[in-house]
Amino acid sequence: MTDGTADETTGDTAGGTTGGTTGGTTDELAARIAGLMPRAKDDLAELVTLPSVADPRQYPPEKCREAAEWVAAAFTEAGLRDVHLEETPDGSHAVIGHRPPPPGAPTVLLYSHYDVQPPLDDAAWTSPPFELTERDGRWYGRGAADCKGNIVMHLTALRALGDDLPVGVKLVVEGSEEQGTGGLEAYLPPHAGELHADALLICDTGNAAVGIPTATTSLRGVANVVVTVRALHGDVHSGMFGGPAPDALAALIRMLDSLRDADGGTRIDGLDRTGTWSGAGYDETRFRADAGVLDGVRLTGSGTVADRLWARPAVTVLGIDCPPVVGSAAAVPATARARVSLRVPPGTDARTAQDALVGHLEAAAPWGVRVEVERESAGSPFRADTGGPAYAALDRAMREVYGTPMSFLGQGGSIPLCNVLAGTFPEAEIVLIGVEEPRCLIHAPNESVDPEEIRRMAHVEALFLRHFANSAST
């Protein structure tokens, strides 16, 4: 079938009877994966119960260690060898393992991460964040999609292939990706030999929507700063001094407002804001629904939604320190500060963008207020080369499972490891896929995953390994 309807036997779309070189036909592989789904649910339930937030200020570090040990044991059982924990320079533990290739076969690196974002507001969750809960056909819990669902996808694909694994595999599952502290990025270069592979399967992204097979080929970088404004030695009574006394919060608001033009688009002096996106588009109606935009509220900026998401810089005020409404006094604020995030498209250097953001904020400060800008770490954007055999193998696998060609999209998030991998292994193809899609609400309350995406993407991964092995032997 080619119309995207489900096959009654396998539950997958077209391409059902084309076999690989090992392990039977695609239908047989699909049936094995379907049979593994109850185990996949149990695995995910166990992983989600572990609050593996890699920030000891919020959660005990022992929980991250437990998650790492669980991952190591699971991949050992799935057939990998010498699976162990390696401490990285930021103190987190990466799970490392391998399985050597059959003679003449290529090697594929499988990546994911076991650490998760904090649940934020527990009261906003419909079900407990660290308890996998099935509701309306989806599985809810922190990390269910990002990125423990992708760990389960890897495990399901490997278990389905079993002893018929047609390629060598190297595994790395990191433990501090969400914190951005760079543990694995620092670990990788001096250990390049143990992680070298012909294709790098980075599973921390996902499809454009449920049922639309997609590879992420573009990642925005990030350049964050914290800006502090000082205007007075201390707060003063607004009745006695308000008017001529400079208000630090009002000055900060003016500075932040200057980062956007009249239609809300990002406007930072020295940064190009005219880029266009040539891959798959993002329908505005679907974007409004995915982002939860309220009725009657206009989207900000100009150009297509895809242009604004993946080809242009985008600024966000992440937080402001100032007097809270409840308990605020009748006083002119002496100081105020904000954390500002700048997402950077491929083609723009993250450090250059950060310099532009700092210069813009300093120049926009009114009334001679004193401004201090603290630079946080900057992550570079990434663009994949899609012309090699790994992408051809992936497209074939996605066509067989989903019944439609693979699409390309960008991601607003950054994965700093990708640029380190590209610099360390310039000859390797980097492929970004996974089980995440807009309805997953990653990083937000009520994160969830569609179990059908785990099933289908595990099937895609298993077929990809077969097809990539075949491409290396022809």
- Looking at the annotation, which residues are catalytic? 115, 177
Q: Is the dihedral of CA 164, 167, 170, 171 positive or negative?
A: negative
Structure tokens at 358: 């700092």
Whether 53 and 117 have beta carbons less than 8 Å apart is answered as yes
Pairwise CA distance, residues 337 & 339, whole Å: 7
Per DSSP, 444 falls in state S
What's the CA gap between 114 and 345, in Å, rounded?
27
Query: 193 vs 44, 187, 188, 429, CA distance in Å?
Result: 31, 12, 9, 16
Q: Tell me, what amino acid is at 91? A: G
| Residue 52 and residue 115 in contact, taking contact as beta carbons nearer than 8 Å | yes
Residues in contact with 268: Cβ distance below 8 Å, sequence separation at least 6, in sequence order: 259, 313, 315, 342, 353, 356, 357, 360
Query: Which pair of structure tokens corresponds to residue 44?
Result: 């995910």
Q: Which two tokens stand for residue 255?
A: 């500075």
301 conformational bin, left if phi > 0, alpha if psi -120 to 50, beta if neither? left
Q: Do 175 and 113 touch, CB atoms closer than 8 A? A: yes
Give CA angle at 259 (257, 262), nearest 5°. 70
Cβ-based neighbour number of residue 91 at 10 Å: 14
Coil, helix or strand at residue 455: helix
* Nearest CA among 110, 207, 164, 137 for reference residue 456: 207
Q: What are phi and psi of 163, to 5 degrees?
A: -75, -10
